[in-house]
Amino acid sequence: MTTSHSATVRRAGTRRPGARRGHSLLSLLVASALALGTAACSTSTADDSARDVVQSLGAVPIPTAPATEPTPTADQQHPQLLAIGAPVEAILPTGRATITALGPEIDLPTGTTKPPEQVNGTITLRVVTESGSITVAATDLTSRDDSGNDIRLTPVGASGATGTPGTAVELKVAATFHTGAAQITLRHAGKIIALWTFNVENG
């Protein structure tokens, strides 16, 4: 019994130390090669799919931002609230025009460099007609200050102006403004088309 046990121990000791390690290393290399091959196939398939999509779509245009903000439109059912100096495209029963309120241009008293509490000024309504015929009159304009008080408007020169396609006409009105916020409103046939807000600052 003792001899048999010793022989078994000697046979176990005669195995080459690197045999099992070599087998494990070979298995690892084979598995790695298979994994790399699979990844390469997947990448190739993805690249082919991307190329197919590009070829099927062709050249895709890149959108660009507009150079300026689009002009808002207004009609008798949809008026616009704007800051003074902003244009509005008015769509009226008689035609279509881009209308802009400008000003106020302040007339400073002699020897002053800033508006006092009350000052005279003018507001200009510029009308560029695109189609039809657009007529604006001083009576179509009203103005109020931030306390809700009416500001009397007086035409400077003609009391009205009519624009035809391709022409620009102006209507000027004068008023006495107080320091603070105010507004000027344009109506057509009694309905508000646009309202512009502005400030007269003292300082």
Does the pTM surpass 0.75? The reply is no
- Identify the pLDDT of residue 72: 97
pLDDT tens for 58-94 read 555 556 656 677 999 999 999 999 999 999 999 999 9
- Note the pLDDT of residue 69: 79
Which amino acid, one-letter code, is at 97?
Answer: A
Question: How far apart are the C-alpha atoms of 51 and 162, rounded to whole Å?
Answer: 60
Spell out, as residue ranges, where the chain has pLDDT lower than 70: 1-67, 113-115, 202-203
Q: Supply the pLDDT for residue 71.
A: 95
Sheet (strand 87-92) strand order? 73-74, 87-92, 95-107, 118-132, 168-178, 154-155
Taking only the tens place, the pLDDT of each residue in 132-146 is: 999 999 999 999 999
Question: CB–CB of 143/175 below 8 Å?
Answer: yes
The CA–CA distances, whole Å, from 110 to 115, 116, 119, 122 equal 11, 12, 12, 17
CA distance 104 to 175: 9
pLDDT at 62: 59
Give the pLDDT confidence score for residue 152 in this predicted structure: 97
Q: Residue 29 has what pLDDT?
A: 46
pLDDT for 27: 55
What confidence score (pLDDT) does residue 33 get? 47
